Amino acid sequence: MNPVEIIKKKRDSNKLTKQEIDFFIDGYLENKIPEYQMSSFLMSIFFSLMDEEETFHLTEKMLHSGSIVDLSNINKVKVDKHSTGGVGDKTSIILAPMVASCGIAVPMISGRGLGHTGGTLDKLESIPYFNVNLSLDDYKKVIEKIGVVMIGQTKEIAPADKRIYALRDVTATIENISLISASIMSKKLAEGIDSLVLDVKTGTGAFMKSFDESVNLAKSLVKIGNMMQKKTVAYITSMDDVLGFAVGNWLEIVECIKCLRNEIVVSDLMEVTYLLGGTMLKLGGVASSIEDGIKKCQEVIQNGKAYEKFLQIVETQNGDVSFIENIEKYPKSKFEIEIFSNENGFISDINSLEIGLSAILIGAGRMKIDDKIDYKSGIVMNKKVGDKIHKGELLVKFFTDNKSTCDIVKQRIHNAIKIVPESTKPKQLVKAYIDENTNVNFHF
């Protein structure tokens, strides 16, 4: 087979065979197909799309490019969650210890930031010495010991995805249903789970901007999971506003610590986290219903068991627990910039995409594969959509060591927040539920 012919075939919107997909992925992994041809291949998929059969073959190939973990020796139901990514989406940090402290095993393999969205691994690595690079043997041992683990892809798990994931981030080939589906499901199906709950984001700060696109992605993911004999369901949740208040790796960890300690109430963040957690407990058989699961999750937040489990995760994965117990110990950014409102009114819109892009400019994300992240940099919102604001009141605060970007970021954030004279309601946060049969439910 000829890589150029395969690229041309897909560029011209023709269907690829399983053999052609296998050839291209194998060639890339064996370094017989260079990155510029893989970039071209990804772009041809991006514009010409793949059908359901092609998407399944791509997922299957990426899954079997490495090992599939066997966790059958662990005498608990194994359930994980995955989010398609958003601005301020930090649910995993709270969710994993919360669900694990309710008796479900949570083998979580996460990714790094993609484009304007943050990544769970980057957030975890902002904790000094936290090790997300465990071997598969250690991965299994940690789950056996504490019932939860949070790592990145090992070299054995879906190596094709690991390389392609990083390339998509810097070649503007992220927002494609087939590529997203294959990337997510090849990792999740390899990690040893029994069931999976998906959080598919929709709106300005999501990769899928429209509700219909998000539903199509959710259906694709759910269908692949259930075809592979893993009970899979999905929610469509809004990313038209920042989730929670903090955007930026350590700042998001701090917000999660405070939620786990039950020190603050971040209503939108916890609404999504409890819903996902309740569903995981239902799929895992330790809750009679999603509502019962939510109640159990709320209990372990209130009694401190979820926070204790988080400390266990940090300690077991070699993180410095003293930074969790004393968050003021963490290094501070050189510059702390405050943005104030120029008018009285109500917040009617926050462009979360602009907030995410602004976070990259101040060092909280990557523009190139090898960019170093400044873990302490980031943005803290002071208001949510629907809140009242007075002239001169604090809107946003951001933290950075990069003085050269401060003025442009200040302007971008100002432009991202719309203030109107009349009161406005926040948009619905949870929009739909996609069940195992890919039915779309608006009441659940």
In the annotation, is 187 catalytic? yes
Secondary structure percentages of the chain, helix, strand, coil, to 5: 45, 15, 40
- Token pair of 196 as six digits: 């999976």
- Give the contacts of 404 (CB within 8 A, at least 6 positions apart): none
Q: Which residue is catalytic, options 89, 161, 169, 268?
A: 161
Q: Which residue is catalytic, options 116, 123, 187, 219?
A: 187
Q: Which residue is catalytic, options 61, 78, 82, 230?
A: 82
Beta sheet of 79-83, edge-to-edge order: 79-83, 195-202, 231-238, 430-434, 440-441
C-alpha distance from residue 100 to each of 35, 124, 129, 283, 420 (Å): 40, 17, 22, 13, 43
In the annotation, is 443 catalytic? no
In the annotation, is 238 catalytic? no
Q: Which residue is catalytic, options 65, 183, 341, 352?
A: 183
In the annotation, is 22 catalytic? no
Q: Cα(11)–Cα(196) distance, rounded to whole angstroms?
A: 33
* Residue 199: closest CA among 235, 253, 150: 235
In the annotation, is 64 catalytic? no
Number of H helices, E strands in the chain: 17, 14
Sole residue written with tokens 């999750």: 297
Q: What are phi and psi of 83, to 5 degrees?
A: -110, 145
Residues with catalytic roles = 82, 161, 168, 183, 187
